[in-house]
Amino acid sequence: GRCRLLCKPSALAQHLVRSLGRSAALRGGRWLWPCWPRLQMLRQLLQPPEPEPAVARELLQLPDTGLVALDWLVGRRGARSGSGGGGPSSVLLLIPNAAGKVTGGLLQLGLRALERGFVPVIFNRRGHNGCPLTTPRLQPFGDPGDLREAVTYLRCRHPTASLLAVSEGSGSGLLLAYLGESGSSSRLAAAACISPIFRGRDWFEAGMPWLYEWPLLLHLKRGLSRYVGSLAEAVDVDRLLGSRSLRELEEALFCRTKSRPTSWEAYWERNEPLRDADEAAVPVLCLCSADDPVRGPPARSLPLELFRSSPYFFLLLTPRGGHCGFPRRGAGPCWGHEAVLEYFRAMAEFLRAEERRKGLPRPR
C-alpha cells in the first residue's frame, strides 16, 4: 500500500523487506477519511476496545520505594495469566503514551498479540492509570530508570522467553531513551514504536492539535489531582493544575520544582529520546505516517539520517494513517498492529536462521 522501508542496507533489512512485502497487513491499508487525520486521531484516543480485555495487575516496588504497575492482559475470558511460570512464549511489553493513557488501540494490539501466543503486559509509570504514587516524584519524559527495573523483573520472571517491547506515540520517547542508554545490555530481542515522537523538546514547543492535547491534559490532571498532598512538598500544585498546555504541565512537574529547580534546556539535555541513539544495539521498527498531525511534518520531525546510518533503526513510512491509527477499510483490525506483529515474527525467524548458520547453541 505504497509503504516505504527506509534503513541501512543489511541482511536483516533484506529479510524484513521480503517478510513485510509478503504480509497481507501492508496490502489494502487504506482508510476511510484520508483528509481527516485529526478526526481519526480523536476516535483512536477516546474509543474503548470492544470488548474490553481483563487484566491482572502487579505492583513492582522500585529502589526508592516508588511503585510502577504491570498489567498482564489475560484475554476476553481470563484464559491466560502472566503470573504463571515463565514459559517459552515471547513477552510483549506495551508502553502507553507519555500521559499514561492506555488507548483502545494499545489494548487491541495486546489482544491480537495474546491470540498469537505472546504474553502481553502493560507498563504503567508512577502515578499513571491508577498506579499509587508513594513518592513525590514522577517519571520524566526520557528517564528510563523505572523501565529498566521493570525489564529486569520481567527477565527474571520469564527467563526462557524472548522479551519484546512496543510503544505508542509519545511513550516511544521512553523506549528509545532506554535502548540508547542500555546499548547491548537492554535484555530486549527487538522493539517497535508506533507513531513515535523522536524530538521531545521540539514536540512540546511546537504545540499540538487541541483535539489531542486537551484530552491528554485533562487525563493527566485528573490522575495527578489524587496525589495533591504528596506532590505539594515537591511542586507548585496550583501552577501544576492550572497548566493550559502539556508543556506548562511538564515544566511545572520537572523544571519548577521546590528542591531542585532546573532550566527547560537542561531538562531536555537529560531527556531527549535520541540522545544516545548511536549506542542502541537492538533492532527497532518505527511505524510512521506522513500525515501524522501530532508528530508534525516529516521533514522536520523524522530523523532520516539515523535510519540511513544505523543498522538497528528501520522506518516503515506510509502516506496515510494519522497518529497511532492505521485503520483498515471496513471493520478489520488496525493494519499497523498486524505489521508490528509480522515484524516480530520476521525478527525471530531471522535470529533462528543466524543461530543455525553460525552453529550457535540456543540459550538454556
Q: Report the catalytic residues.
A: 292, 323
Half-sphere exposure in the Cβ direction for 182 (13 Å, CA): 24
For residue 21, give Cα distances in angstroms to 90, 341, 353: 24, 14, 19
Question: Which DSSP state fits 96?
Answer: -
Q: Which of 119, 142, 99 is nearest to 324 (CA)?
A: 99
**Distance (Å, rounded) from C-alpha 298 to C-alpha 302?**
5
Q: Which of 247, 203, 204, 242 is nearest to 221 (CA)?
A: 242
Asked if residue 220 lies in contact with residue 226, where contact means CB atoms within 8 angstroms, the answer is no
Three-state secondary structure call for residue 312: coil
Q: Is the dihedral of CA 202, 295, 302, 120 positive or negative?
A: positive
> Within 10 Å of residue 144's Cβ, how many Cβ atoms?
25
Cell of 59: 505492583
Which residues, other chains included, contact 156 with Cβ-Cβ below 8 Å and sequence gap of 6+? none
Cell of 62: 522500585
Which residues, other chains included, contact 118 with Cβ-Cβ below 8 Å and sequence gap of 6+? 89, 90, 91, 92, 164, 341
Q: Give the orientation angle of helix 246-254 with respect to helix 210-224, to 10 degrees.
A: 30
Site of grid cell 489531542: 212
